[in-house]
Structure 1
Amino acid sequence: MSANTAPASAVVVDAYTTGNHLAPAFRRHGVRVVHVQSTPALMTTMMQPDLTQYEANIVLDDAGTHLDLLRAHRPLCVVAGQEPGVIPADTLADQLGVPGNRPELSVARRDKYEMTEALRRAGVRCADQFTSADPDQITAWAAERGGRVVVKPRTSAATDHVVVCDTPGQVRQAAAEVLAARDIFGAANTEALVQAYLEGPEFKVDTVSYAGERYTCGVWQYHKRLVDGRNIYDRDEIREPEDAATLEITGYVDEVLRALGIAYGPSHTEVIVTADGPVLVEVGARTAGGLVPPFHDACLGGNQADVTALAFTDPERFRARYAGRAYRKLRHASQVYGATTLSGTVAAVDTATVERIEALGSVYRFTPKKRPGDTLRPTVDLYSTTFVAHLAAGSAEELRRDYEVLQSLKDALYVLEEA
């Protein structure tokens, strides 16, 4: 079949982790899918793209030959599969003349400092902040401002090197550790970011947009535990979509997305509701990290990957069915994360513990994150959690009971090698 008569294709850039759900979603809509790799070699710090799902894997190159290769596949859209793909996806959509988020604000959709400054310029409520390559300057800003602060990298994810600090010494140490490290995508942290600590409950809001019209796929409340300056994920729970607090949050998120120019595709936004109202933590212009399409279908009546595919392949149907609307809460639902203080080498996954967990009535899916031979270390971020469990139940009480059983079994999940 010639390039002129070939069917149109969706392009996914860097389909790591939950970006893997996009190709099957587009294919369910009868569209071929092409993968774009933004780096010469695949990144090894995340779940790899399943390249068998794609018609081709095209690697970006400085000469721009990838553009001719992509045009031969007649692209209808370009979507970021994970954080590293956000800026390349914007650029490619613009170069190929397909719907996408315009590149003028690409950096603000990727860099947490620029993200917050874009909100400030737009008059949207946001956190006080400062950035520098000098730990002493970071420390001086925090001391002058006073109060609790958060130190973090500018472009990482999964709570990587995010530290809550109360003293100048803690700030200096956290900033130095950020600057000495690479982010989870392998890039050097050339500056550290310090922001005012936001006091209040935290929420995540997952949306899909097309031409600025949005569908809210889900609003979840985070529950975390502060341990040695690290906010450790414990669980999140779906909110009632029509609750007044939920509507306030989604209204604020709409302001944020407009300020950041996110008019097309999926986004994952985290906010904290302070005494003054919702304030942004960060936005990812890509699918949510906890996306499990069948689970979200069962609990919310739809999922972010399939709605994204529909929006780009059939915009009129998206507008008729989804634009300006929100999910339905069909089940009480939660994602539970395992945390540990243990360390060692995993000798085995305890099958009896797995069977007890999977027998719980609300457990939709249970995923141990370690295998024999892996290193178990104390949990400090999302990547070092030991399992994730997706729970769905007819009542909040059933969900709570099973959550408590899960947490009571978390340290029995792995058998460690004897020292």
Structure 2
Amino acid sequence: MSALRVAVVDGYSTGAQLVKELLDRGAEVLHVRSGPTLAPYYVPTFHPADYAEDLGYDPDPEAVAARLTERGVRHVVAGTETGVVLADRLAQLAGLPGNDVGLAPARRSKFRMAEVLRAAGLDAPLSTLVTTADEAARWFTGSGLDAVVVKPVDSAGSDHVRICRTAAEARQAAAAVLDTANLFGHRNDTALVQEFLQGPEYYVNTVSVEGRHIEVETWRYTKDRTPEGAPVFDFEEPADPGAPEIRDLHAYLWRALTALGIRTGAAHSEVVLTARGPVLIDPGARLGGGVLPWVSAKLAGHSHAGLLAAAIANPAELSAARLPLRWEQPVRYVSLINHFPGTVRDLQWSSRFNDLPTAVAVAAVARPGDELPRTRDLLTSPGFVYLSAATRERIETDYRTIRTWESSPLYTS
């Protein structure tokens, strides 16, 4: 019997780990590029040797779909955010399982997302698109809101996200967005100005099969802010899936995913639990990034990437999995924070973190010789650490040790 053939569109970031999970399950993987160039952020994460064939970039989706059909491809999946729209388009053209292509813009644009959710009778952030900084200031003034979030309409990784409490701050933040390209190298022609939602923020990782949404895990964010209003990720911990507020959050989210046309594959959804109820702020129709799937597999038996691969290549494995994930003991994902701009001198700090009693894994994103600014988003974090122990108190001790180390120059010189 020939191997199952799967096409991955933009197998970067966590998509590279998905490919390895597919290979482990006996699949043969082909690669498709959604664009002619690759953003520098993704270059180190692409592993061409993992693919049976790299079809490269072709601006004609119909031609690509025909090539996939010729090669017997049975599934098309996005590896990362840039591949979301093309993956669903190729699946449609090839007659393979996929999401509603008519709603693809709402799965990439946070503004279109809000429009679709409201049309479905679901709560969504009040928001607008602006093409000038002055428009952002005027909208803030007329909105009656105490605070807004300004960000690119279709980026990721907290890229150029700013929380603004005055019209002047909104103007400055919008100007910064409109003056740059997003994480994926695309020029920001518009900026999103959105209601700042108060309340705890969660992300929910799911796998959908024929329109049925399966919870893999739910984590709660803890964030700080820079003086300029940029959210800085501090740490994340798994939420109790049985808590009433989490059940309510899931009930809302399943309706939201359906409204956004998600029928198959992974989703990484960010939701704020406000006083008026849960509100989706970011629909990611793909795996979440910045994680180590093997840690989840070790501590909870499965990972999001592994379960997506199972849904594609071994559905019985997904059906047999005990979900949502149950963690053997408390775990915390800590985002590292650099306070001292400079050149990354070495990775000795990584060894220090690995020696902490509760350390499970350390991922160094910054490399020796890199210029590392003060951390203002996920892109400028030196890396991340997983901590786990029998008690939360032991985790807290090592977490405080990390933050103490970071109060002096640690990553740079």
Task: Output the TM-score relative to the length of structure 2.
Answer: 0.94
Give the stretch that moved more between structures: 161-170 or 207-216. 207-216
Match of 2:346 in 1: 348
1:279 Cα deviation from its structure 2 partner = 0.8
Determine helix, strand or coil for the equivalent of 1:365: strand
Note the alpha carbon deviations across 1:105-136, whole angstroms, 9 max, x for none: 11111111111111111111111111121222
Matched-pair contact (CA < 8 Å) for 2:361–2:387: yes
1:70 Cα deviation from its structure 2 partner = 1.5
CA distance in 1 between counterparts of 2:346 and 2:17 reads: 29
User: What are the equivalent positions in structure 2 for 1:358-373 lying under 5 Å apart?
Assistant: 358-373=354-369
CA distance 1:345–1:215, shift in 2 (3 Å) = same
1:38 Cα deviation from its structure 2 partner = 1.1
Matched-pair contact (CA < 8 Å) for 1:299–1:332: no
Match of 1:123 in 2: 121
Matched-pair contact (CA < 8 Å) for 2:18–2:309: yes
CA distance in 1 between counterparts of 2:252 and 2:335 reads: 27
Match of 1:336 in 2: 334
CA distance in 2 between counterparts of 1:127 and 1:89 reads: 27
Determine helix, strand or coil for the equivalent of 2:18: helix
Alignment pair present for 1:394 and 2:400: no
CA distance in 1 between counterparts of 2:297 and 2:346 reads: 33
1:258 Cα deviation from its structure 2 partner = 0.8
Match of 1:376 in 2: 372
Determine helix, strand or coil for the equivalent of 1:328: coil
**RMSD (CA atoms):** 1.7
Match of 2:33 in 1: 37
CA distance in 1 between counterparts of 2:23 and 2:383 reads: 30
Match of 1:87 in 2: 85
User: What are the equivalent positions in structure 2 for 1:192-203 lying under 5 Å apart?
Assistant: 192-203=191-202
Letter in 2 for 1:227: T
Letter in 2 for 1:268: H
Matched-pair contact (CA < 8 Å) for 1:241–1:327: no
1:40 Cα deviation from its structure 2 partner = 1.7
Letter in 1 for 2:249: I
Matched-pair contact (CA < 8 Å) for 2:338–2:411: no
CA distance in 2 between counterparts of 1:141 and 1:93 reads: 39
Match of 1:50 in 2: 47
Task: Output the TM-score relative to the length of structure 1.
Answer: 0.93
Match of 2:216 in 1: 217
User: What are the equivalent positions in structure 2 for 1:287-302 lying under 5 Å apart?
Assistant: 287-302=287-302
Determine helix, strand or coil for the equivalent of 1:335: strand
Determine helix, strand or coil for the equivalent of 1:39: coil
Give the stretch that moved more between structures: 295-304 or 201-210. 295-304
Determine helix, strand or coil for the equivalent of 2:177: helix
Letter in 2 for 1:396: R
Letter in 2 for 1:161: H
Match of 1:252 in 2: 252
CA distance in 2 between counterparts of 1:286 and 1:160 reads: 18
Letter in 2 for 1:18: T
Letter in 2 for 1:363: A
User: What are the equivalent positions in structure 2 for 1:150-169 lying under 5 Å apart?
Assistant: 150-169=149-168
CA distance in 2 between counterparts of 1:322 and 1:108 reads: 31
Note the alpha carbon deviations across 1:292-343, whole angstroms, 9 max, x for none: 222111233311111111112244553x3359x4221322111101112211
Match of 1:176 in 2: 175
Correspondent of 1:409 among 381, 405, 412: 405
CA distance in 2 between counterparts of 1:356 and 1:26 reads: 34
CA distance in 2 between counterparts of 1:186 and 1:273 reads: 32
CA distance in 2 between counterparts of 1:65 and 1:118 reads: 31
Determine helix, strand or coil for the equivalent of 1:254: helix
Match of 2:56 in 1: 59
Match of 1:313 in 2: 313
CA distance in 1 between counterparts of 2:343 and 2:277 reads: 45
1:363 Cα deviation from its structure 2 partner = 0.8
Q: Give the gaps of 5 or more residues in structure 1.
A: none
Matched-pair contact (CA < 8 Å) for 1:214–1:322: no
CA distance in 1 between counterparts of 2:132 and 2:352 reads: 50
Match of 2:277 in 1: 277
Runs of 4+ off more than 4 Å = none
Matched-pair contact (CA < 8 Å) for 2:39–2:183: no
Matched-pair contact (CA < 8 Å) for 2:232–2:375: yes
CA distance 1:187–1:156, shift in 2 (3 Å) = same
Matched-pair contact (CA < 8 Å) for 1:354–1:413: no
Matched-pair contact (CA < 8 Å) for 1:59–1:66: no
Give the stretch that moved more between structures: 244-253 or 401-410. 244-253
CA distance in 1 between counterparts of 2:19 and 2:170 reads: 42
Matched-pair contact (CA < 8 Å) for 1:345–1:373: yes
CA distance 1:322–1:253, shift in 2 (3 Å) = farther
Identity of aligned residues (%): 34
CA distance in 1 between counterparts of 2:193 and 2:141 reads: 11
CA distance in 2 between counterparts of 1:364 and 1:316 reads: 29
CA distance in 2 between counterparts of 1:189 and 1:139 reads: 18
